[in-house]
Amino acid sequence: MSGLSDGNPNSVRWNVTVGLGAGGLVPSREHDTMGVAYFHIGVSDEVKDLLASQPGLAQRDEQGVELYYNAALSPWCHLTADLQVAQPSTKAFDTAVLAGSRLKIDLSMLANTPTRKGTRLSKFIPTKRATLLN
């Protein structure tokens, strides 16, 4: 994905984002996924010139990278680890490193997963919605 402008009145002259996704690292875990992405934001020269003389506000282009690994713990439960590193456009700010995780539980898939006795949990989940009286 990319974008381009004349930089006036936009603060961003151009940007580009590229990413690559793939299956997981372990061959026996066919539902795992992973990916990496890079972004670069070209701050317009007008903004750089405008803020260059202001203490602590001098600007540069911004860029960063993100890596993730999504482990399928079950068909209805996925755990994702994520690492982001970004160099902000404001020169006075240090490069930011952010690590995170996310747990996704898909209740609709869980309801249709057979239990040990062979029944599906959806049998116990009401499907009709209550209606309000007028």
Considering its fold, how many domains does the chain have in total?
A: 1
pLDDT digits (tens, 9 = 90+) for 97-128: 999 999 999 888 776 666 666 555 554 444 55
Query: Of 12, 7, 70, 10, nearest to 39 (Cα)?
Result: 12
Residue 119 placed within a domain: no
Per-residue confidence (pLDDT) for residue 1, from 0 to 100: 81
| pLDDT score at 117 | 61
Confidence (pLDDT) at 114:
65
- CA 68, 36, 39, 61 dihedral sign is positive
Q: Please report, rounded to a whole number, the percentage of residues in the chain having pLDDT higher than 90.
A: 59
Q: Is residue 18 in a domain? A: yes
Angle at 89 between CA 88 and CA 94, to 5 degrees: 40
pLDDT in tens, 7-20: 677 889 999 999 99
- Look at 110 and 44; give whichever has higher pLDDT: 44
Which bin fits 124, alpha (ψ -120 to 50), beta or left (φ > 0)?
Answer: alpha
> Is 15 inside any structural domain?
yes
Alpha helices by DSSP H, listed for the chain, are 45-51, 107-111
Domain containing residue 39: 2-106
